[in-house]
Amino acid sequence: MTATLSASVATRARGFGGLLGGGFTGFVLRRALGALVTLFVLSVVIYAVFYVAPGDVAQITCGPRCSPAQVQQVSDQLRLDDPLYTRYLDFLRGIVVGHDYSTGTGVLHCDAPCLGLSYQTDQQVTELILNKVPVTGSLALGAMVLWLILGVGTGVLSAWRRGRATERILTGVTLAGTATPVFVIGLILMILVCGQLQWLPFPQYVPFTDDPQQWAWNLLLPWVSLALIEAAKYARLTRASMLETLAEDHVRTFRAYGVKERSIVGRHALRGALAPVIALSANDFGSMFGGALLTETLFGLPGLGRELVHAVRVVDLPVVVGMVMVTGFFVVLANAVADVLYAVADRRVVLS
């Protein structure tokens, strides 16, 4: 949904091309403008979905055991009696300049960007999210590096060896990887690597700043588990893109002039086939900040996914809204960066 909304807004932003200038700089400015507009629209949609939901929002947020006085206190804090647009503008103001909250005995200031306070812990949502971002970011970044190396490499080799035994074997492996859930691979790896062989300890997140070596060792199995699933998808995409590129006229011209097949594949075909890979990897990396829920739960990683599930379970509405908005922000940002990288790889995009 977010990727589609971003693409739609980016298309409309092309109309500002004359104002923002041409060339690569103008292209980057148009993408930045499109990303900002997308984030604004996304914030409106998310706020409306959660705060205009059917039922008594104050009662749902406070819980079934709350007294009428406690429900009214939550309603006052959420300012549910105010018009929706007033509450939304106040929410935006908190993101830009911060917000003051009454605690009953005093006033608590929430620094910008303020996404509200948790009703379970009275902790600032922004602070809570920032504490979880390093965990999910570490998982997403490491897994993405692995799945790109494995997926793109497998896809290129499969396309290069088309019609041979190598391609059939790799195609079978990628199909099996696509059909296997991540928790199955994760459980098998933990039983074998951590249990029977005892090559690695059972994963337990260690901050990178505390011990980089232990940080990597404890995240290795989650990285591999997640990367094997994603690599299968990227292998199939890369193979299809490579076969399409290898069938183009300029590639046949290179062959007619006697250019070596290895050079054609590595220098010419691969560059043209990377465009869809860049777009998909950006979307997957941004979505990963919503939390690789199964992976984080399986390996006990205290990331954004587990926190979001906990917030939904206890109906901690400010945390849920904050988490969803942060996820949307990373998806939009990742897609904007992918557009720029796509333009760097293929300058024809700048002229489109």
Positions in the chain short of pLDDT 50: 9, 13-19
Complete domains list, the chain, with CATH: 24-110 (no CATH), 125-349 (1.10.3720.10)
Q: With beta carbons less than 8 A apart as the criterion, state whether 144 and 284 touch.
A: yes
The contacts of residue 345 (CB under 8 Å, 6+ apart) are 271, 274, 275, 278
Which H/E stretch holds residue 68? Answer: helix 68-78
CA torsion 70-76-81-82 (nearest 10°) is -160
- What whole-number distance in Å separates Cα of residue 130 and Cα of residue 172? 41
Three-class DSSP category at 302: coil
Q: What is the pLDDT of residues 166-212, one digit of tens each?
A: 777 877 777 777 777 777 888 888 888 888 888 888 888 889 889 89
Ramachandran quadrant class, 21 (left: phi over 0; alpha: psi -120 to 50; beta: rest): left
